[in-house]
Amino acid sequence: MSKVATALKSANETKSLIIGQDVLQQAFIVFKEQFPGKKAIIVADQTTYGIVGETILKQFESNGIKQEPAFVYSDPELYAEYKYVEELVAALEQHQAIPVAVGSGTINDLTKLAAHLTNRPYMCVATAASMDGYTAFGASITANGAKQTFNCPAPQACVADVDILSAAPTEMTAAGYADLFAKITAGADWILADALRVEAIDQTAWSIVQDGLHEALSDPEGTKNGHAQAVTQLTEGLMLGGFAMQWSKSSRPASGAEHQFSHLWNMEHHLKNGEHVSHGFQVSVGTLAITALYDLLLKTDLENLDIQAAFKQWPTEEELKKQSLAIFKGTDFPEIGWQETSAKYINHQELEKQLQTLKHNWQEIKQRLAKQIVPFVEAKSRLAIVGAPTEPEHIGISRERLKETFVRAQYIRRRFTVLDLAVRTGYLDQWLDQLFAKDGIWPIN
Ligand SMILES: [Zn+2]
């Protein structure tokens, strides 16, 4: 049985997923199987309607599936914003038709939430291998100026035609490759959380994402050039990431500190030359930053960690409250630092126990991490080959800001990552000095 077929069994929401060349023609069969007797409504933007939407509409028509007129967003500035969800909800409320989202991240997220709000399942026809959100539980939507994840089920059925995905703009494929690459550092963070008994690894979710991950990332050249096998592997990897999130109802299996960089930049309303930077592109830089930190961690002799020194620099809860409220002062999310870090705070006694565990098991932990991490130089080379950004400046982030992000990111999520390890061992400042030194990866003059 294929990896995807095995993973489908553990997915609670997605019942049918077809990935392959020339599978678009099976879309009507999938729809009829999954939604017998139901009407359909195509949801697309003008681009995706032209490329695939109209084809599906005609295919459904000639195969006896009744439809409402297609819902095509006309706004060229369309993005995953709540007002666009409301537009679609208003349209869906007029009937009972099953939405068929034809597009990538934005269209899928808008449809996912609108379908949920109008109490119906939906189907998705992917047009780019640009992120792992297709099959994920939850939609990432900006509401009241802030990007938020809304809980809502993944599509019941999904069709990903590799010929169409291969023809998508290369920067979309590059973004997807980076989002898949992020599962390397996300996995490493989970290994750390597991080893320090903060959050045990769920073996099912782990296998869904991690088995075959290194292999799926092994051909950036083929991925860039749209070779069917490489794009198929990429697409499967991204879909599997979504399945793991469905299984655990958490993004832990697919998202670690590298994603916190992207989330923080979104919260800060980061734009490059006035434009949004795609999720995958932000994650590409985040992944490289966290990989660089892992390279330093792996070179650190934690068997001889000075626990007393770490102990001294660890704040009391009262001190943490001050720190965490100060760090986002003047932003539109002043409270989140305290809200999230207090949720993962441990007292000095617990810290000592945790660092003892780290010290005693360091050789074993180090081996597990070394097996997981793709070293910085190699990671950078592959991301460059595929056409993803490899320098912070490529996405409009200065080095100073990247350095700050290392500090700020761990305040915005309670999830335990390598950033927490860096803070708890007291190594963060030293590692950042190395990364941003004259002979470091990102020298700051
Ligand atoms: Zn992602």
Map out the domains of the chain as residue ranges: 3-168, 175-220+250-435
pLDDT at residue number 268: 93
> Average pLDDT in the 79-88 region?
95
In the reported structure, the alpha carbon of residue 256 is separated from the centroid of ligand 1 by a whole-number distance in angstroms of 9
> So what's the architecture of 3-168 in CATH?
3-Layer(aba) Sandwich (3.40)
- Cα of 138 from ligand 1 centre, angstroms: 12
Q: How far is the CA of 106 from the centre of ligand 1 (A)?
A: 13
Q: What is the whole-number distance in angstroms between the Cα of residue 176 and the centre of ligand 1? A: 8
Pairing of strands 146-150, 139-143: antiparallel
CA of 307 to the centre of ligand 1 (A): 35
Element (H, E) at 363: helix 362-372
**Residue 72 dihedral angles phi and psi, to the nearest 5°:** -115, 115
- Measured in degrees and rounded to the nearest 5, phi and psi for residue 219 equal -130, 70
Q: From ligand 1's centre to the CA of 67, what distance in Å? A: 33
Spacing, Cα 64 to ligand 1 middle (Å):
37
- Count other C-beta atoms under 10 Å from residue 212's C-beta: 15
Decide if 45 contacts 187 (C-beta within 8 A): no
Residue 445 — pLDDT band, cuts 50, 70, 90?
Answer: confident
SS3 259: helix
Find the 242 Cα to ligand 1 centroid distance in Å: 10
- Domain 175-220+250-435: which CATH number of 1.20.1090, 1.10.150, 3.40.1130, 2.60.40: 1.20.1090
Q: Residues 257, 419: contact at Cβ < 8 Å?
A: yes
- CA of residue 258 to ligand 1 center, whole Å: 9
What is the rounded distance in angstroms from the CA atom of residue 34 to the CA atom of residue 8? 14
Given this model, what pLDDT does residue 1 score? 64
Q: What crossing angle do the helices spanning 170-195 and 362-372 adopt, rounded to 10°?
A: 170
Q: Write the CB contacts of 302 (distance below 8 Å, at least 6 apart in sequence).
A: 358, 359, 362, 366, 425
Residue 119 DSSP code? T
Which one has a higher pLDDT value, 245 or 27?
27
Quick: pLDDT tens for 157-212.
999 999 999 999 999 999 999 999 999 999 999 999 999 999 999 999 999 999 99
Say whether 175-220+250-435 and 3-168 share the same fold.
Answer: no
For residue 35, the one-letter residue type is F
For residue range 349-397, list pLDDT tens digits in order. Answer: 999 999 999 999 999 999 999 999 999 999 999 999 999 999 999 999 9
Ligand 1 mean position to 225 CA, how many Å?
22
- Contact (CB, 8 A) for 100 and 125: yes
% of the chain at pLDDT higher than 90:
91
Could you tell me what percentage of the chain is helix, strand and coil, using 3-state DSSP and rounding each to the nearest 5?
Answer: 60, 10, 30
Cα–ligand 1 centroid distance for 270 (angstroms)? 17
Mean pLDDT of the chain: 95
> pLDDT digits over 287-329, tens only?
999 999 999 999 999 999 999 999 999 999 999 999 999 999 9
* Per-residue model confidence (pLDDT) at position 312: 94
Strands 139-143 and 98-103: unpaired
State the average pLDDT over residues 49-64.
97
Ligand 1 center to 279 CA (angstroms): 7
Q: Structure tokens of 213?
A: 């991950």
State the DSSP string of 26-41.
GHHHHHHHHSTT--EE
Beta bridge partners of 18: 159
- pLDDT above 70 covers a percentage of the chain that reads 100
C-alpha 152 – ligand 1 centre gap (Å):
17
Q: Find the Cα–Cα–Cα–Cα dihedral 327, 328, 334, 336, rounded to 10°.
A: -70
